[in-house]
Structure 1
Amino acid sequence: MSEELFTNLAIFVLSLLVGFEVMSKIPATLQTPMMSGANAIHGVVVVGAFVIAAEANSWPFYILAFLGAFFAAVNVAGGYTVTDRMLGMFDRKPAAKQGEADHK
């Protein structure tokens, strides 16, 4: 195992542990807004997929770049969708007219 691979693997494992600790300290009422915002910010992954596509020189790398860009775009769209649905829960419903309330 090369030193660079070991360093990258150690950083990955440490980031998983730190992420788990941070997420476990956040109250349940703030999980949805935090995660939807984080998904929207992950648009950086789309840029990373484009950089990989620019460096690709064979079909397997082109396929990986396409899959990376596709899943990153789905992640970003999902983040915005979740945010929109979450904010929709806070919209006030139009008040029912007096006649409609009596018939129910």
Structure 2
Amino acid sequence: MSSEIEAGLYVFMLAGFLGFEVISRVPPLLHTPLMSGTNAISGISLVGSIVVAGMQETTFSTILGFIAVTAASINVVGGFMITDRMLKMFKKREEVS
């Protein structure tokens, strides 16, 4: 293995472990803001995929960019739908008399 691959795998494993530890210690009350932050990160990946799709260097990169835009858009929309559902859980329900 080359040193670049080893370094990449090391960073990936460290990020996975650190992410799991941080997320597992978040109290349930903070899950909604955390989801909103995750949606912001998904938005950044959407912008990046639009840039890749718009470069038009090769047909293959354009197709991969289109697939990335589609997947990132689904991720962003789904994330906001889940955040909306979580926020509705905190609203008080009106009692019907």
TM-score bin, normalised by smaller chain: 0.7 to 0.9
Q: Can you give the 5+ residue segments of structure 1 that lack an aligned partner in the other structure?
A: 98-104
Correspondence list, 1:40-55, <5 A:
40-41=39-40, 42-55=42-55
- Give the TM-score of the pair, scaled to structure 1: 0.72
Change (3 A) 1:23 1:89: same
Residue in structure 2 matched with residue 101 of structure 1 by the alignment: none
Deviation at 1:81? 0.7
Q: Give the TM-score normalised by structure 2.
A: 0.76
Q: Which runs of 5+ in 2 are unaligned?
A: none
Matched-pair identity in %: 34
Q: Distance in 2 between matches of 1:51 and 1:8?
A: 24
Distance 1:78 1:36 in 2: 11
The residue that corresponds to 2:57 in the other structure is 57
> RMSD between aligned alpha carbons?
2.3
The residue number in structure 2 matching 1:66 is 66
Structure 1 segment 17-32 matched on structure 2, within 5 A = 17-27=17-27, 29-30=28-29, 32=31
Aligned residues: 96
Q: Which has the higher contact order (CA 8 A, sep 6+)?
A: 1
